Structure 1
């Protein structure tokens, strides 16, 4: 084989490698933009449903697409394309209205036009109390984040969606609120950890539909103690096998 032939072969091999890498990156970009986006839970506001160290996939097509569906959120268009309204009780990822560079995850409680209020720790929607049943206590600090028993209440929304909430502090600051009237094109979000959640009762406010990123779908990995998934040596002690491949409800 001549020197020229060897050089051409090497160039061809390098070109093929670059081509494969570019195609893989484009495929990953398309999947992340239009299908699934990985998301890690940054805080305890959704306990006991979601814990810090949970890694989950968010379905991007669930609510259609806005500029916030795209990497870096370029201001290419307004509103939503192929939009679909969230259902009450969905666990949704959205852009924090005061600072859209931040991702938040909460449960959809109020739809456009709803009247939302908390009275003595009980949720009211349009003047009707949402059924709230005490189902026991959790003593595991990995779930509650505190080293004491915590009361757990199960709420059932008008559409039948049920989920557990934590009551860390009876008569907490968010247990009694004014009545909120959700504006058109907006949603009212709340965390399941009712006494430790910055949500629509506080600085989050009403969330514009344009800010919705997607619906939380499935937990694909979970690790405790603030460990990184890359710290493989910690998996035997800190990984939470019982949470793997659990659907988010």
Structure 2
């Protein structure tokens, strides 16, 4: 069981700028996105989070320091103008060669999904949580990363792929092979790193279609996330568990 998570929170979040100057601090049901993420990781059994900060990171760091966290939190920094693989590499020194759960701070995720990927582990190189509910209403078809599988391996990954049978949930189990792959790239993006491992048969997956998640990347997704909590009649800062359903 993986106990350490890398949480990516360095991006500029331009599509959500109208709701919050800093995406990690964007409130959903009265609770910042990054607090939802850290709470969910802790509920999944993760006891240490390496948070990668960048854009407006000083404010996020102050926010984290001012609150009692449900797990140990360490912050590192990455250039927000660079691809997200740079953020993964920024966490490497604190990983000390160990495996980690990799997650996005702007994704609201059922803790059981985190737990399923962490329990599966990186195995031969990398494991991605995939969702086979194609066409689901919470997905932005122009932005979601698509996945094609073959057997128990990832065959292809990318946005806009015509042939695909799953979505990328944004939750991974990673190890040293992904770090090594990213280091070979001039502009290291996470998708390109996965492609390198997939070409060698070292990118596996675990089906997480039974668990809900949503990428809160724009006002529409934010509204869907808010609606999920309203259906339960509780505020995010008083409810640590995930709503039972995301409205389509």
Bin of the TM-score, shorter chain as denominator length:
under 0.3
TM-score (norm: length of structure 2): 0.25
TM-score (norm: length of structure 1): 0.25
Which structure carries more helix by proportion?
A: 2
Which structure carries more strand by proportion?
A: 1
Greater Rg, structure 1 or structure 2? 1
